[in-house]
């Protein structure tokens, strides 16, 4: 299987993006939960920096994924062995997760910028402060970030359950083609 998607299979670019982003997002949900329970100090500031750096990288990865799917459209969903309601549910979950792959990092970025502290990518590139310091924005957007990440985690659970169900109960090729192309 080459780099591009075909009418029936995923090329390696889409598969790589899917699995690297999946791993990173699961790690980020864990890391986010850990830092949100910490009192920020000089000793743990690097963990906040790491979360922000990976989060912004994930925003770029989501953009890349969107662009790549315009350049090389993904294969049509497999429908032959799946009830219509499950096809609709899968599409809805994919679309909502896609949307959250953009909104979650943006809410984190806005909230962080609103604290007045620079967002620095891996200690090297200082990102523009996309909003001025504001306690109201800081609180609102951290609350949104927190709720949206919980919704994303819930959708990932549904998505994984659906993928395993299709593989083990309906024996279709969706999981195989996402792994092997
Ligand atoms: C896909 C990307 C991201 C995921 C999955 C994610 C996930 C999370 C989660 C689960 C939490 C804990 C929320 C809570 O329990 O209240 C959190 C907190 C946090 N996130 Fe993110 N995040 C992402 C991107 C970002 C970005 C891009 C930034 C900033 C540039 C950011 C900044 C923060 C900060 C500073 C906290 C701690 C908030 C606090 O002190 O309560 N996140 N994140
Ligand atoms: C944070 C974790 C994950 C996210 C955000 C995510 C997101 C997505 C999205 C948006 C799609 C739609 C196709 C695309 O745009 O690439 C997709 C497809 C797929 N995902 Fe995931 N995924 C995650 C984890 C997983 C895991 C752990 C599994 C395996 C158990 C899995 C199995 C699949 C399969 C089999 C497809 C292809 C469905 C088809 O061919 O119709 N995903 N995923």
Give the pLDDT confidence of 126-158 residue by residue, as tens digits: 999 999 999 999 999 999 999 999 999 999 999
Euclidean distance between the first and the last CA atom of the chain, given in angstroms as a whole number: 6
- Mean pLDDT, residues 162-176 taken together: 96
Q: Is 108 in the pocket of ligand 1 (CB under 6 A)?
A: yes
Q: Is 162 in the pocket of ligand 1 (CB under 6 A)?
A: no
The CATH number that domain 12-180 falls under is 1.20.950
pLDDT score of 38 more than 80: yes
CA of 179 to the centre of ligand 1 (A): 28
- Mean pLDDT, residues 154-178 taken together: 97
For ligand 2, which residues put their CB under 6 angstroms from it?
A: 14, 18, 22, 25-26, 74, 77-78, 94, 97-98, 156, 159-160, 163-164, 174-175, 177-178
Measured CA to CA, the distance from residue 162 to residue 179 in angstroms comes to: 15
Q: Average per-residue pLDDT in the chain?
A: 97
Identify the residue whose C-alpha is closest to ligand 2 atom 10.
Answer: 94
Identify the residue whose C-alpha is closest to ligand 2 atom 40.
Answer: 174
Measured CA to CA, the distance from residue 7 to residue 122 in angstroms comes to: 38
> CB burial class (10 A; 0-12, 13-18, 19+) of residue 83?
exposed
pLDDT score of 1 more than 80: no
| Residue 65: per-residue pLDDT | 98
pLDDT score of 98 more than 90: yes
Measured CA to CA, the distance from residue 107 to residue 22 in angstroms comes to: 19
Q: Is 142 in the pocket of ligand 1 (CB under 6 A)?
A: yes
In residues, how long is the chain?
Answer: 181
Run of H or E residues at 55: helix 45-71
Grade residue 174 by pLDDT with cuts at 50, 70 and 90. Answer: very high
**Ligand of minimum distance to the alpha carbon of 102:** 1
pLDDT score of 80 more than 90: no
pTM of the predicted protein model: 0.96
| Residue 41: per-residue pLDDT | 93
């Amino acid at each position: 299987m080459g780099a591009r998607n075909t009418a029936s299979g995923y090329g390696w670019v889409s598969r790589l993006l899917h699995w690297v982003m999946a791993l990173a997002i699961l790690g980020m949900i864990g890391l986010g939960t850990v830092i949100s329970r910490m009192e920020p100090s000089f000793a743990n500031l690097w963990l906040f920096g790491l979360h922000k750096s990976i989060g912004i990288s994930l925003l770029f990865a989501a953009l890349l994924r969107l662009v790549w799917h315009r350049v090389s459209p993904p294969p049509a969903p497999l429908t032959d062995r799946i009830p219509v309601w499950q096809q609709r549910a899968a599409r809805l979950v994919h679309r909502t997760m896609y949307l959250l792959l953009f909104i979650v990092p943006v809410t984190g970025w806005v909230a962080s910028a609103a604290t007045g502290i620079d967002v620095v990518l891996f200690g090297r590139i200082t990102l523009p402060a996309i909003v001025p310091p504001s306690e109201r924005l800081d609180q609102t957007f951290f609350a949104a970030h927190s709720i949206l990440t919980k919704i994303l985690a819930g959708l990932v659970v549904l998505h994984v359950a659906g993928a395993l169900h299709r593989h083990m109960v309906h024996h279709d090729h969706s999981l195989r083609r996402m792994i092997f192309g």
